[in-house]
C-alpha cells in the first residue's frame, strides 16, 4: 500500500498552557492538493510547521510521518530530519526571499541542500544548475526578472520566485502557508493556478493554508478546516457552503467568505514571451561577474 505523503496521528501542541492543536489526525495522499482553512489563530501555521519538524509536538501520542519516514514521534524530532526536509518545500505569505540578492540566486538556494558542501558554501553554481533555475523561472513566467534584485519585484512576482525556488528544490511536497494573503485578487489567482498546475503536472503534493474559503473551493478538491486546533471539517471542497461555514466558524464565517468570492471569472493566462536562451546568457554573465 502506498504510504501517505503526510501522516499526522494524534497531533497535539500546547503553547503556554493553551492548546494550539488538539488531537489532529490527517492523511494526505501523494498527488493531492489540500486546502487548510480556518480563522486567524486556528492552528494552520502550527500544523504546517509540525509537518516539516520545525516544531516538536507535545509528548504523548503525537506522530508525524512524510512518505513513510518519521518526522517526529512523541515530541521528539527524528535524527533523520534533514533528509525528510529535502522533500518538503515551504512557501510563505511574506515570500522569504533575500531582498538584496538577484532573483536567480534566490531561486538557486533551493538546490543548496543537494550540492556538495564546498559548492554549497561558496554558492558555486554550474551552468547546469543555472539552466535549472532559468527553467523554473520560465515555468512561473518571470524569467525576464532573473537578474533583478528580489526587492524590485512586485508581491506576485516575488511569490512566483519563491515557487521557482520550490521547483528547483525538487521537493515532493509543497507546504504553502497563506501564500496569497498579501496579494491582490489577480495575483492571488495566478499563484493558485500555478500551485494547481505544479500539483497536476509534476504530481507534487500541495497543502495550502488559506484565509479565504473561495480559493479553497476553486482550486483544491479537498479542504480541511481547523477551529481552535481541532479539525472540524475534512472533505470535498465542493460541499463547503455558507451554511456549513457559519456552523463551523460562527460569526467569523463572513470574514472567511470575502466579497472576492462573488468574482468567479477565470484569470486570463499570460503568455510567456521571453527567450530563455537570452535570459540564460544574461544570468551566466551575472554569475561570472558576482560569484
Contact residues for ligand ADP (CB under 6 A)? 15-16, 18, 20, 38, 40-46
What minimum distance in Å lies between the beta carbon of 289 and ligand ADP?
Answer: 41
The binder of 157, among Mg ion, ligand ADP, none, by C-beta within 5 to 8 A per type, is: none
When the beta carbons of 136 and 176 are compared against Mg ion, the nearer one is 176
Size of the site for Mg ion (CB under 5 A): 2
Query: DSSP for 41-88?
Result: TSSHHHHHHHHTTSS---SSS-EEEETTEEEEETTEE-TTHHHHHTTE
- x/- mask, Mg ion, residues 7-46, rule CB under 5 A, reads -------------------------------------xx-
Query: Given the complex with ligand ADP, which of 45 and 237 has the nearer CB atom?
Result: 45
187 binds Mg ion (CB under 5 A): no
Nearer to ligand ADP among residue 148 and residue 258 (C-beta): 258
Residue 191 site contact among Mg ion, ligand ADP, none (CB < 5 to 8 Å, cut-off depends on kind): none
Nearer to Mg ion, 103 or 210 (CB): 210
Q: Give the residue with the Cβ less far from ligand ADP, 20 or 111.
A: 20
Neighbours of 84 (CB within 10 A): 22
Closest CB to ligand ADP among 68 and 250? Answer: 250
Residues 39-58 that bind Mg ion (CB under 5 A): 44-45
The CB-of-43 to Mg ion minimum distance in angstroms stands at: 8
Phi, psi of 227 (to 5 degrees): -135, 120
Cell of 207: 497543502
The minimum distance between CB 175 and ligand ADP, in angstroms, equals: 12
CB of 210 to Mg ion, least distance (A): 10
User: Which residues neighbour 65 within 8 Å (Cβ) at sequence distance 6 or greater?
Assistant: 3, 4, 6, 7, 71
Amino acid at each position: 500500500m502506498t504510504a501517505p505523503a503526510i501522516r499526522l496521528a494524534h497531533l497535539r501542541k500546547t503553547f503556554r498552557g493553551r492548546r494550539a492543536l488538539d488531537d489532529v489526525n490527517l492523511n494526505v495522499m501523494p498527488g493531492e492538493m489540500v486546502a487548510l482553512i480556518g480563522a486567524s489563530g486556528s492552528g494552520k501555521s502550527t500544523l504546517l510547521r509540525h509537518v516539516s519538524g520545525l516544531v516538536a509536538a507535545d509528548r504523548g501520542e503525537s506522530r508525524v510521518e512524510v512518505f513513510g519516514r518519521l518526522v517526529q514521534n512523541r515530541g521528539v524530532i527524528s535524527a533523520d530530519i534533514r533528509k525528510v526536509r529535502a522533500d518538503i518545500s515551504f512557501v510563505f505569505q511574506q515570500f522569504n526571499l533575500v531582498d538584496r540578492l538577484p532573483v536567480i540566486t534566490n531561486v538557486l538556494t533551493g538546490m543548496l541542500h543537494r550540492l556538495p558542501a564546498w559548492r554549497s558554501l561558496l554558492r558555486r553554481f554550474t551552468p547546469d544548475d543555472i539552466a535549472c533555475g532559468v527553467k523554473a523561472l520560465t515555468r512561473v513566467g518571470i524569467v525576464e526578472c532573473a537578474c533583478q534584485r528580489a526587492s524590485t519585484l512586485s508581491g506576485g512576482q516575488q511569490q512566483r520566485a519563491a515557487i521557482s525556488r520550490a521547483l528547483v528544490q525538487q521537493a515532493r511536497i509543497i507546504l504553502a502557508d497563506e501564500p496569497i494573503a498579501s496579494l491582490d485578487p489577480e495575483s492571488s489567482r495566478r499563484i493558485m493556478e500555478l500551485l494547481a498546475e505544479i500539483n497536476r503536472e509534476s504530481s507534487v503534493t500541495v497543502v495550502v493554508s488559506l484565509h479565504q474559503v473561495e480559493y479553497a473551493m476553486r482550486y483544491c478538491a479537498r479542504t480541511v478546516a481547523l477551529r481552535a486546533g481541532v479539525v472540524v471539517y475534512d472533505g470535498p471542497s465542493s460541499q463547503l457552503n455558507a451554511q456549513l461555514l457559519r456552523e463551523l466558524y460562527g460569526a467569523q464565517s463572513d470574514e472567511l467568505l470575502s466579497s472576492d468570492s462573488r468574482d468567479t471569472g477565470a484569470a486570463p493566462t499570460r503568455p510567456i514571451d521571453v527567450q530563455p536562451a537570452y535570459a540564460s546568457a544574461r544570468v551566466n554573465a551575472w554569475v561570472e561577474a558576482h560569484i
